[in-house]
Amino acid sequence: MRVSGLVRHLAVFAQALRERGIPVALSDEADALAALTLVDVADRAEVRRALRVALKVRRRHAAAFDELFERLWAPESGEAATAVVNAARDRRVPHGRPARRLAAAGAGHGERGERDVPSGDAPAYSPEALLRRKSFEECTPEDLAAMERLLSGLASRLATRPSRRLVPTRGRGRHDPRRSFRRALATDGEFLEFARRSRAIEEPRLVVLCDTSGSMDAHTRFVLTFLLALKKAARRTEVFAFNTALTRLTPWMVPGRIAQTLDRLSAGVPDWSGGTRIGECLAAFVDRYLDGTVDRRTVVVIVSDGLDRGDTAELVSAMRAIRSRARRVLWLNPLLSDPRYEPTARGMAAALPYVDRLLPAHNLESLERVLPLVAA
Amino acid sequence: MKAEIRSMQEAMEKQGYIAEAEIATAVYLSQAMGKPLLVEGDAGVGKTEIAKVLARFLGTELIRLQCYEGLDVATALYEWDYPRQMLRVRMAGDDADPEGLEHVIFSRDYLLERPLLKAITRVEGPAVLLIDEVDRADDGFEAFLLEVLSDFQVTIPELGTIQAIHRPHVVLTSNRSREIGDALRRRCLYLYIEHPGFEKEVRIIHSRVPEAGARLAEQIARFVQSLRERRLLKAPGVAETIDWAQALVRLHQDALDAETVATTLGCLLKDHNDLRDLSGGELSSLVEAATS
């Protein structure tokens, strides 16, 4: 086959892959072309293997790649393939579309967002300790405003984790003979000062999955306020909301304007207070975001009452996947404040074996207790 | 299949590595295109082994860089031997020619070569450079690696730029404990190794533990395959299968039975929760299914 035809066909095929959300760069296409000159292009299976290697198709995209290859790869007739791609384009699954819809919805609700911002009234005086123990359900808007102020001070208390990486320090830490010798060279072999190094301090990495369904409504706003405060100390925090669908909230979490952000959120997120499908949503998280956001250093926090109408098998396999990757999995459940509560809700019971700590989350005090677990 | 790929497959098999077409194609392309090969997959599927086998059949040296959190350039690339330089300066005394002395102590003699530098300065021919578990290193190290892997040259301020004498064959492995950056991925060719299917696993057992009989090998493979379907926290890899087969051979087993499996299960399952989940009743039914 002529090379020019192959180049065109490859470009069309790569475009089809991109449309399906499989990242293919121009340099990958160049690699693929080089690879195709090295294999037997008449052998379809071999071409497929070579393209997978050269285009760096990740495992989670492998099925989509194979399907597209089956449908579109026919290098004998570049034109026909183009037609197929065009047809496929109209049918394609709209990847990334929810985010766009979300942004558009959010933009339209600017004025409505102002509605719930606490007016300038001075908040009623509450002793701090009392406020800490007050359940969110009983809080007046004034209480909430006071709590927000308490919370903003809390970010700085978030302890940080020492890394294994050693960095040069002044005056403390252990001796660093190599650098000491190096310095001594500059002073004609005299050791004027010993170099030292100690463990680097690392920012905590957090991924929060927050249930925003109707059964959680009273808590959601407060938990999100808490997360915004937390994000100041741990900038790499990723936040997702779920109820019947999963939404990535991270780009919306703007510190400093907590009330506005919350109103934008409730206007923009689909089903802000609808029912829950925990299993489905966590599975969606595992599918799309787990690889990119969670590593060995990441603590995953799930905030939910575990009241689920979905299938628990899906929940279990998603929890297992998260557990095997994260450093720690915390589950915050506001219902735990009730001493009679047993975690028997179907979803909760199914997820429990994969959770490191199950913690209450009904007032500020309980949220503060979460902090050392997130940091350490 | 192209003849070169088939002969690659046969050469790997001769070294005791059963490679299906995917693996042979990837290794061949990485050789032919002169690009590093990034291998991902669960623990114990034989990622590291690819580099070892490659070094063996190319008859060259395997240079290994084990990555870990906190790995820095001084451990990966080069470092000056400061204590020796120090002693040399002291020995020279006060009346030594300072410029000549500088040339002496900043020469190759006083340079400690770490794996990356060793790999590009090898004189005898291209080495196989294995960068193992690259996902364990920091993001910063990944960026540095990118630089070395694109130019195959290293700049040492006191010596100047050192160009690779022969470009090494590079194999990177990752357990996917974090996502490898796109830039590094683009520099490489990519291979994902799945757990082997039944046929392949039997062939691996035959090749690596020839003492195990045909019946035992098949039962082992069937049992391990059924374990992997159970979605464990740590699914057993090929390495575990081989360990277990060796254990059973040492115990003079020629077939699986529930009791032996229960006592040797630690060879396969390395997680307390997985061991506990597989309670007695379920285990014996799995063994039964594997032996019937």
The interface residues of chain A toward chain B in range 290-319, judged by CB-CB distance below 8 A, are 291-292, 295-296, 317
B82 vs A53, A178, A320: nearest CB: A178
Which residues from chain A sit within 8 angstroms of residue B186, using beta carbons?
Answer: 25, 27-28, 56
Which residues from chain A sit within 8 angstroms of residue B188, using beta carbons?
Answer: 56
Which residues from chain A sit within 8 angstroms of residue B79, using beta carbons?
Answer: 178
**Contact at CB, A185 and B40, closer than 8 angstroms:** no
Q: Note the pLDDT tens digit of each residue in B181-201.
A: 888 999 999 999 999 999 999
Highest mean pLDDT among A355-359, B54-58, B87-91: B54-58
pLDDT at B180: 84
**Contact at CB, A49 and B28, closer than 8 angstroms:** no
**Residue B277 CB-density burial (10 A; 0-12 exposed, 13-18 middle, 19+ buried):** middle
A34 vs B33, B72, B85: nearest CB: B33
Contact status of B31 with chain A (Cβ, < 8 Å): no
HEC string for A20-63: CCCCCCHHHHHHHHHHHCCCCCCCHHHHHHHHHHHCCCCHHHHH
- Among chain A residues, the shortest Cα distance to B38 is held by A56
**Contact at CB, A39 and B25, closer than 8 angstroms:** yes
| DSSP summary character for residue B175 | -
Please give the Cα distance from B112 to A238 (Å, whole number).
Answer: 42
Contact residues for B184 (Cβ-Cβ < 8 A; gap 6+): B38, B134, B142, B145, B146, B149, B172
HEC string for B33-73: HCCCEEEEECCCCCHHHHHHHHHHHHCCCEEEEECCCCCCH
**Contact at CB, B189 and A295, closer than 8 angstroms:** no
For A358, list phi and psi in degrees, rounded to 5.
-105, 120
For chain A, which ranges sit under pLDDT 70? 1-4, 75-141, 143-164, 171, 201, 214-218, 233, 254-275, 309-310, 343-344, 375-376
How distant, in Å, are the alpha carbons of A182, B25, B99 from that of B3? 55, 11, 58
Whether the per-residue pLDDT at B259 is higher than 90: the answer is no
**Contact at CB, B190 and A58, closer than 8 angstroms:** yes
Q: Can you say how many angstroms the Cα of residue B219 is from the centroid of all Cα atoms in its chain? A: 28
Shortest CA gap B138–chain A (Å)? 9
Please give the Cα distance from B157 to B111 (Å, whole number).
Answer: 12
Which residues from chain A sit within 8 angstroms of residue B5, using beta carbons?
Answer: 39, 46
The interface residues of chain A toward chain B in range 148-167, judged by CB-CB distance below 8 A, are 163-166
Contact status of A25 with chain B (Cβ, < 8 Å): yes
In terms of Cα–Cα distance, which of A260, A261, A317, A259 is closest to A250?
Answer: A261
Whether the per-residue pLDDT at B8 is higher than 90: the answer is yes
Shortest CA gap B121–chain A (Å)? 24
pLDDT at A51: 94
Which residues from chain B sit within 8 angstroms of residue A26, using beta carbons?
Answer: none
pLDDT at A245: 79
Do the beta carbons of residue B47 and residue B40 sit within 8 Å? yes
Q: Which amino acid is at B120?
A: I
Q: Note the pLDDT tens digit of each residue in B215-257.
A: 999 999 999 999 998 877 788 999 999 999 999 999 988 888 8
CA Rg value for chain A: 27
Contact status of A174 with chain B (Cβ, < 8 Å): no
What's the ipTM?
0.84
Label residue B116 by pLDDT band (50, 70, 90).
very high
- Write down the mean pLDDT value for chain A: 73
Which residues from chain A sit within 8 angstroms of residue B182, using beta carbons?
Answer: 23, 25
Query: What number of C-beta contacts closer than 8 Å exist between A and B?
Result: 111
Contact status of B183 with chain A (Cβ, < 8 Å): no
- Among chain B residues, the shortest Cα distance to A191 is held by B86
Whether the per-residue pLDDT at B152 is higher than 80: the answer is yes
Which residues from chain A sit within 8 angstroms of residue B233, using beta carbons?
Answer: 320, 323-324
Contact status of A130 with chain B (Cβ, < 8 Å): no
- Among chain A residues, the shortest Cα distance to B82 is held by A181
- Write down the mean pLDDT value for chain B: 89
Q: How many CB atoms lie within 10 A of CB A57?
A: 22
Q: Which amino acid is at A225?
A: T
Which residues from chain B sit within 8 angstroms of residue A62, using beta carbons?
Answer: 192
B186 vs A25, A38, A57: nearest CB: A25
Contact status of A178 with chain B (Cβ, < 8 Å): yes
B70 vs A58, A62, A164: nearest CB: A164
In terms of Cα–Cα distance, which of B234, B21, B115 is closest to A321?
Answer: B234
Do the beta carbons of residue A159 and residue A375 sit within 8 Å? yes
**Residue B235 CB-density burial (10 A; 0-12 exposed, 13-18 middle, 19+ buried):** buried
Do the beta carbons of residue A260 and residue A105 sit within 8 Å? no
pTM for the structure as a whole: 0.70
